[in-house]
Structures are given as structure tokens and as C-alpha cells.
């Protein structure tokens, strides 16, 4: 987790606390909406990912009204103070990290098979 937090903080220019929350939100979304085998392989490569996902699940509010899809993820990330360019940078960095950890084919499958995710790639 520390490796990914560091990469996001540096390459996406965000605070490490925001980076950790962002990771939990995005991985939780991928777990719910993406191809389970590939997403689990990614989660397994990130020590601390399960805890980040669990802590990110405790929020409700507007995102719960939006149904939990990509719109809800965007609303939650914006609630952390991130704008659209920040979210795109974070997503691209997470995709690069994923390719490094689980390979390009599995990461491509996650992007292609998760509703709304390809618009961030």
C-alpha cells in the first residue's frame, strides 16, 4: 500500500491521506463492478488494500443516493477535494501500477469490463 500511496502522492500530486482514501474508494468500486478474478489479483498485490476498502465503505451520503456506480465514485472523490483532472491522473497512475503488478492483459480486462472505467484510461 505504501508503494502505491507514494506513487499517487508524487505522480498525481495529492496528499498521502487523500491517496489512501482514494485507493480504498477505487478498489472498492472495482471489486463491486469489475471482473472479479482480475480485480482480486490486483487487490492481492497491494498489502493493506482490504483495510483501505473496508474503511472507504463506511461513507454514505450523496454517493449512496447515486447508486454506487462511476458517478458515485466521482462524487466521493470530489468530496475529498479532487477535481476531474486529479481523478484522471490518479486513475492513470493506478492503471500503470496495476500493469506493473498484474500485467497489461489483466489490467486491460479490468478497464474494459468495468462500467465507466474506460473513460478514465
pLDDT of the chain, 121 residues: tens digit per residue? 999 999 999 988 899 999 999 999 999 999 999 999 999 999 999 999 999 999 988 655 444 444 568 888 999 999 999 999 999 999 999 999 999 999 999 999 999 999 988 877 7
Residue-range domains of the chain with CATH: 2-120 (1.10.490)
Q: What is the pTM for the complete model shown?
A: 0.89
What is the Cβ-side half-sphere exposure of residue 110, based on CA atoms within 13 angstroms? 30
Q: Are the CB atoms for 27 and 53 separated by under 8 Å?
A: yes
DSSP-derived 3-state class of residue 88: helix
Q: Are the CB atoms for 93 and 11 separated by under 8 Å?
A: yes
Instruction: Say how far apart CA 79 and CA 87 lie, in whole Å.
Output: 12
Amino acid at each position: 500500500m505504501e508503494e502505491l500511496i507514494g506513487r499517487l502522492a508524487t505522480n498525481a500530486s495529492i496528499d498521502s491521506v487523500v491517496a489512501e482514501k482514494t485507493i480504498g474508494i477505487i478498489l472498492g468500486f472495482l471489486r463491486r463492478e469489475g471482473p472479479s478474478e482480475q480485480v482480486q489479483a490486483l487487490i492481492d498485490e497491494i498489502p493493506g488494500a482490504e483495510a483501505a476498502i473496508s474503511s472507504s465503505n463506511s461513507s454514505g451520503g450523496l454517493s449512496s443516493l447515486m447508486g454506487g456506480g462511476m458517478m458515485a465514485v466521482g462524487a466521493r472523490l470530489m468530496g475529498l477535494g479532487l477535481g476531474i483532472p486529479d481523478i484522471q491522473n490518479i486513475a492513470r497512475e493506478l492503471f500503470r501500477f496495476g500493469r506493473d503488478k498484474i500485467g497489461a492483459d489483466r489490467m486491460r480486462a479490468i478497464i474494459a469490463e468495468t462500467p465507466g472505467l474506460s473513460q478514465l484510461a
